Amino acid sequence: MKKMVYLTTGLMVTASSAMAAGHCAAGLTLEEGQLTIATGNPAYYPWVLDDDPESGEGFEAAVAYAIAGEMGFADEDVVWVRSSFDEAIQPGAKNFDFNMQQYSITPERDEVVDFSLPYYTAPMAVLVSPGAVDTEPTLEALKTLKWGAVGTTTAVPKLENVIQPENDPLLYGDNADVNAAMSANQIDAALFDLPTALFLSAVMIEGSAVIGQFASDESDNPDQFGLLMEDGNPLKACVDEAITSLTESGELAAIEAQWLQDATGVPVIE
Amino acid sequence: MKDGNAAAGLTRRQRYEAAQRKRSILIAAASTLLVGLAIFILVPLTPGWDRVKRSFFDIDTLVETFPRLLDAFTINVMIFLWSAPAIAILGLLIALARDTRSPALFPLRIFGAAFTDVFRGIPVILTVYLIGFGIPGLGLPRPWNSPYIWGSLALILTYSAYVAEIFRSGIDSVHHSQRSAALSLGLTERQVTRYVVLPQAIRNVVPAQMNMLIALQKDVSLLSFIGPVEIFRQAGVFKSLLANFTPYVGAAIIFLMVTIPATRYADYLMAKQRQERR
């Protein structure tokens, strides 16, 4: 009898909060009735505006709230926490339901953590310093530049395997350090995902330019961003369902159009 | 006192001492074995062990990444090799500057004190950032804006502040009667420092300076923050790509291969020095 009461009240609660896509997340989140999402510290533009994910402004912040909505969470039920990459992949319990900070899905990472379906496909783009803006967007010309990249990203294997620069690249801890190095003229070019590269060139480094992008459908590891979850997290099915529905309804594309600059003007590197 | 006559057998006292020694060796062996067993049996029984093992001690990942790590380590060695002599020289100069006695050289003393205060007071990583990005940002042409140059300079400045203090303690450890004696023999101040004080001072602080070398050897990795892909950065790249911390363990192993012999050597020097002073 008691069980029955619990069950009915439980059903009522989920039914009232889960208007959209049912209640596939019930009982599977860290805190019942709340969705805990991790982002970077700091979270960078254009993924999150002003390092303030609670505002829902910026591509990833907007996608996060859209996914939460699909999963049946109201905006106020979304809780944000900050995490580094290392915290995300360390063994043991996590302090987030999913982690969203431009994680490229790779088979190696997938063995240790779980990824959702991709929510964005990010072509890699070449940002060059003011002194190198006249470089032709060809692999031949790119090889001769002095390269930099963030050492924790998939830009590193791309550099090593595709561009194969003549000089050893310099690697940094985060975007800000790559900026500093480019401003100090220690590197000519850096490899970022396209939205980040466009932002850096427009706002952060005066006179720099994005001279080319790699086709995002290239056979070697197209860079797709996924939500990172603890290995074996049962919430994955629910998250994937939400992303599928957002993709099919065109809402994901609409969010992308709203927050990410149109990048069709950037030539593709042959 | 040694017992010269072995044929006479051991005295009761010696037999007793031998038995005591044997007993303490047995106890030490047994307790070591127990602790070892406890670690080897209990740790794998913890619920998270499988995941920790996969994340930190994955043999395949270690084998796959080790050669590249070893390769990256050559950059650490290179930076170490050109920084260490510069640190020794600058450190000694700063120590001498702080030790000048002439009133006309007071500014030099002030400079020495300010230098050690500033560079001992700032965390190395901040100095590396400030000098490594700051000075090249002034607009130096290549290759003079290389992070290798300015990063090394940051290490050199920080470490020479420490090394200078050690040299100074060495100089202080030479009794002032030696200085007086040398002066009374007719040596000039300069000669006293060069031939009487410094040789003894430097000898006295060699073990302490060995410890600085070991510390420097590890801190070279801080240059990774401003670009050079040395072993720590290379391990970080592998960590990110493979989502596995084992490359860090590999890097730690490589560091230990260098630092353990160096530490033992420093211990040996220190023990030898104690013996000599006895």
pLDDT tens track, chain A, 270 positions:
455 555 444 444 444 444 444 568 777 888 888 899 999 888 888 899 889 999 989 999 999 999 999 998 999 999 999 998 888 888 778 889 999 999 988 888 888 889 999 999 888 899 999 988 888 888 889 999 999 999 988 899 989 988 899 999 999 998 889 999 998 889 999 999 888 898 888 888 888 999 988 876 665 666 889 999 988 888 999 999 999 999 999 999 999 888 887 766 788 887
Please determine, for residue B112, whether its predicted confidence score (pLDDT) is greater than 80: yes
Q: State the average pLDDT over residues B244-263.
A: 92
Give me the pLDDT at residue A16, please.
Answer: 41
Are A136 and A184 members of one domain?
yes
Please determine, for residue B54, whether its predicted confidence score (pLDDT) is greater than 70: yes
Kindly determine whether residue B55 and residue A113, on different chains, have CB atoms separated by under 8 Å: no
CA B185 centroid distance within chain: 39
Give me the pLDDT at residue B234, please.
Answer: 95
Q: What is the CA radius of gyration of chain A?
A: 20
Are A106 and A6 members of one domain?
yes
Q: How confident is the model at residue B197 (pLDDT cuts 50, 70, 90)?
A: very high
CA B182 centroid distance within chain: 34
Residues 6+ apart with CB under 8 A from B272: none
Are A11 and A103 members of one domain?
yes
Task: Say which CATH number the domain at A251 has.
Answer: 3.40.190.10
Are A16 and A148 members of one domain?
no
Give me the pLDDT at residue B97, please.
Answer: 92
How many CB atoms within 10 Å of residue A74?
A: 14
Highest mean pLDDT among A198-202, B34-38, B85-89: B85-89
List residues in chain A touching B: CB distance below 8 A. Answer: 85-86, 89-92, 106, 108-109, 111-113, 146, 148, 151-154, 156-157, 168-173, 177, 180-181, 183-187
Which three-class secondary structure state does DSSP give residue A148?
strand
Which three-class secondary structure state does DSSP give residue B125?
helix
- A152, A91 in Cβ contact below 8 A? no
Q: Where are the domains of chain B?
A: 6-40, 59-277
Give me the pLDDT at residue A218, please.
Answer: 61
Counted domains in chain A: 2
The mean pLDDT of chain B is: 90
Residues 6+ apart with CB under 8 A from A231: A112, A113, A114
Are A157 and A200 members of one domain?
yes
Distance CA B21, CA B15 (A): 10
Chain A hits for B55, Cβ within 8 Å: 89-91, 112
Question: Is domain B59-277 annotated with CATH 3.90.1150.10?
Answer: no
Residues 6+ apart with CB under 8 A from B210: B262, B265, B266, B269
What burial letters (b/e) apply to B144-155, b meaning 16+ CB within 10 Å? ebbbbbbbbbbb
Q: How confident is the model at residue B74 (pLDDT cuts 50, 70, 90)?
A: very high
Which three-class secondary structure state does DSSP give residue A37?
strand
Give me the pLDDT at residue A259, please.
Answer: 86
Are A112 and A193 members of one domain?
no
In a domain, A141, yes or no: yes
- The residue among B60, B241, B244 with the most chain A CBs within 10 A of its CB, best to mutate, is B241
Closest CA to A245 of A48, A68, A39, A27: A68
Give me the pLDDT at residue A12, please.
Answer: 45
Are A111 and A237 members of one domain?
yes
Give me the pLDDT at residue A13, please.
Answer: 44
Kindly determine whether residue A152 and residue B137, on different chains, have CB atoms separated by under 8 Å: no
In a domain, A72, yes or no: yes
Minimum CA–CA partner of A168 in chain B: B229
Kindly determine whether residue B139 and residue A185, on different chains, have CB atoms separated by under 8 Å: yes
Give me the pLDDT at residue A31, please.
Answer: 84
- Strand segments, DSSP code E, in chain B are none
Are A96 and A158 members of one domain?
no
How many CB atoms within 10 Å of residue B225?
A: 20
Kindly determine whether residue B229 and residue A168, on different chains, have CB atoms separated by under 8 Å: yes
Please determine, for residue B248, whether its predicted confidence score (pLDDT) is greater than 90: yes
Are A204 and A107 members of one domain?
no
Chain A hits for B236, Cβ within 8 Å: 151-152
* CA–CA min distance A227, chain B (Å): 15
Are A131 and A111 members of one domain?
no
Kindly determine whether residue B137 and residue A157, on different chains, have CB atoms separated by under 8 Å: no
Are A47 and A156 members of one domain?
no
Are A71 and A19 members of one domain?
yes
How many CB atoms within 10 Å of residue B246?
A: 25
Q: What angle do CA B141, A158, A165 make, to 5 degrees?
A: 35
Q: What is the pLDDT of residues B113-122, one digit of tens each?
A: 999 999 999 9
Distance CA A242, CA A24 (A): 10
The single-letter DSSP state of residue A268 is B
In a domain, A270, yes or no: no
Which residues span the domain enclosing A67?
2-120+225-259
